[in-house]
Structure 1
Amino acid sequence: MVPRLTLNHLTVLSALAETRGVTATAARLGLTQSAVSHRLREAERRVGARLVRRVDGAMTLTPEGERVRALADRFLDELVRLEQELAADRDGARRLVRLGQATYSRYHWLPAFLEFTERSAPDLSVDLSARAASRPFAALVEGSVDVSTVYGRPSALPRFRWRKLATDPLIGVVAPGHRLAKAAHLDSRLIEDERYYTYPLSAEPGFEWEALIGAPSVPFRRITQMPTPEAVIDLVRAGFGVGIFSRWAVQPELSDGTLIEKPLGAEGMALDWWAVTRASDPPGGPADRLAEALVEWGRRDEVGLATLGFEGEAR
């Protein structure tokens, strides 16, 4: 049976989901606006369902369109990966390994790690995938990433292999001029009436912070969810409220003094971070070697995770 949708249709739907506009989609793909509109109409005609709609001036996908887009993203990722791997096999080039990171799209640590891998595994080429930010385990299963860094506790699922990276404090952050800047620590009673900015965490069950550290003793009354951790950092840095982060994620702002950290509770809290791979990946393969490189890098204080605020030594 031949699919009714082609690669052209999938590419347009994937791009439209991110750009939310025909003009921006056309610019990204190097097409005319009329070509994009034609492909969208043709895709809807071929599957017999509405795939896009206009909401508040923006183009969004319908539930049916989201289903097609999810498949399109996985397919396109796998196709690009296969093309790169075939080229590497043919030319003797580096082996591509895709790295993902749960929750945070902050990579101030990456240059130091890439320098380390250049020395320890020069035949590996590291690429980043944003898919793991919200669904690190699904991204591994789908194959859109090969190694995901995640926080929490190892699961009993046999399909994954876990390697401990380090333990990192979970901290509250405020601007230097905030009324809580001189507090010894933060807890739910102190910030129950503060504007508390939060951001999307893992969408996968069991890896939300509340599941890992417990519900606050006093419910937060003024919660504002922002689309990204970076948006929270900007607002908190400007003095508009309080945020909670893994310390390494806000290390640049702590270092330059634009944010002040506070322990959560009198004794503080911490989360373990892990490098997770598929158990089915071969020992000594590219994913296995990249995960081991992360662990080894984390043990080296001069270039490793200790420079980002991690406590203790990876083990």
Structure 2
Amino acid sequence: MSSRLEMHHYETIVAVSETGSVTAAAGRLHVSQSAVSHRLAEAERRLGGRLFERRPSRGMQPTPAALALCQAAHRAMPDLARAERDFMRSVGGTTATVRIGVGSYDCYHWLAQFATASVDRLEGLLLELVVVGDAPVQRLADGTADLVLAPGPAHGTCEAQHLFTDELVLITHPEHRLADRTWIGPEAVAEEDYFTYNRQPSPGFEYERFLRPAGVSPRTITVLEQTGAIAEMIAADFGVSILSRWAMSPWLESGRLVAVRCSRSGLELEWSALTRIETDGDAPERQVAHAIVDWLGNAKQAWTSPTLGN
């Protein structure tokens, strides 16, 4: 059975899902607002149902029936882009491929800006996205990834370059009872339905540093392996989570989600660029790692959290 939708429909669905508005989606896709509206209307006509609904203070949100479609589009788009790059590499012009992953959080909102700013410096290098989950060291060791942007404690078995200081924050719906707090203590999570992306707590993250010392567990815990899916569920007011502020920045900037500091002083989260320790200094993955570090400094990207401790 052939798909009823075309690529531009799925691109539009992903953009509206992530930004929460037709206007923001149009800006991301570099098309007019009317073009976005037309694509959505055409997709709904072909599928025979509503894809999004507008809610006060929440913006455009996927309908319950469309949530699985949005998640499938999020997974499929990187796979299709990778297949296109593989084809382009096979017909010439590429000298090396660097496989990049993001540890713990499946967030790539930074990649397009970085690639655009570094196009001359990385000429001939093809950047390929891979999934590393919460096992960045293993994915480097088994060759799945060449370079991983990883949060949390640095690993002695890898070469690590510091990138920036982030913050672990409580992520809530804008109208959630905790959304207007300046900060929360761990006990505030005890009565919440909680989403997490891993089945076992990772060292150096919220459970070890915030919840366990207080002897606190959420009321319910649901595992969703993709943080994008967690964000959508929280945006629909199904629960809360403690996640990287930077990873959630597209949803926070659109106003669909709210971040609340964990503890009065906050929970710092360091990000590093990891490569295999035996990698040559002039290897393509090291070149990309250096380019990311330089880009962060030169472009002055807002990847860091507000100053902790204030």
Q: Which bin holds the TM-score, normalised by the shorter protein?
A: 0.5 to 0.7
Number of residue pairs the alignment of both structures matches: 222
Relative distance call for 1:190 and 1:224 in structure 2 (3 A) is: same
* Distance of 1:211 and 1:189 partners within structure 2: 15
Q: Deviations over 1:204-231 (max 9, x none)?
A: 9746543466724141241322222222
What SS does structure 2 have at the residue aligned with 1:252?
helix
Paired residue for 1:77? none
Residue 191 of structure 1: how far off its partner (Å) = 2.0
* Distance of 2:201 and 2:171 partners within structure 1: 25
Paired residue for 2:150? 150
Residue 111 of structure 1: how far off its partner (Å) = 0.4
Match of 1:253 among 240, 251, 275: 251
Paired residue for 1:223? 220
Confirm or deny: 8 A CA contact 1:166 1:311 kept in the other structure. no
Relative distance call for 1:188 and 1:251 in structure 2 (3 A) is: same
**Identity of aligned pairs, percent?**
26
Relative distance call for 1:174 and 1:298 in structure 2 (3 A) is: same
What SS does structure 1 have at the residue aligned with 2:99?
strand
Residue 240 of structure 1: how far off its partner (Å) = 2.3
What SS does structure 1 have at the residue aligned with 2:184?
coil
RMSD: 2.7
Confirm or deny: 8 A CA contact 1:200 1:225 kept in the other structure. no
Deviates more, 1:215-224 or 1:285-294: 215-224
Residue 143 of structure 1: how far off its partner (Å) = 0.8
Q: Deviations over 1:171-223 (max 9, x none)?
A: 1111111111222212211221121222217x797465434667241412413
With structure 2 as the length reference, what TM-score do the two structures score?
Answer: 0.64
Paired residue for 1:122? 123
Q: Deviations over 1:78-131 (max 9, x none)?
A: xx9xx99x959xx5633111101111122111100111221322121101011x
What SS does structure 2 have at the residue aligned with 1:153?
coil
Query: What stretches of structure 1 move > 3 A for 4+ residues in a row?
Result: 203-214, 308-312
Which of these two proteins has the greater Rg computed from alpha carbons? Answer: 1
Correspondence list, 1:232-251, <5 A: 232-251=230-249
Correspondence list, 1:1-315, <5 A: 91=92, 93-130=94-131, 132-157=132-157, 160-200=158-198, 206=203, 209-211=206-208, 215-227=212-224, 228-302=226-300, 304=301, 306=302, 308-310=303-305
Instruction: In structure 1, list runs of 5 or more residues that go unmatched.
Output: 1-79
Confirm or deny: 8 A CA contact 1:152 1:212 kept in the other structure. no
With structure 1 as the length reference, what TM-score do the two structures score?
Answer: 0.64
* Distance of 1:267 and 1:219 partners within structure 2: 19
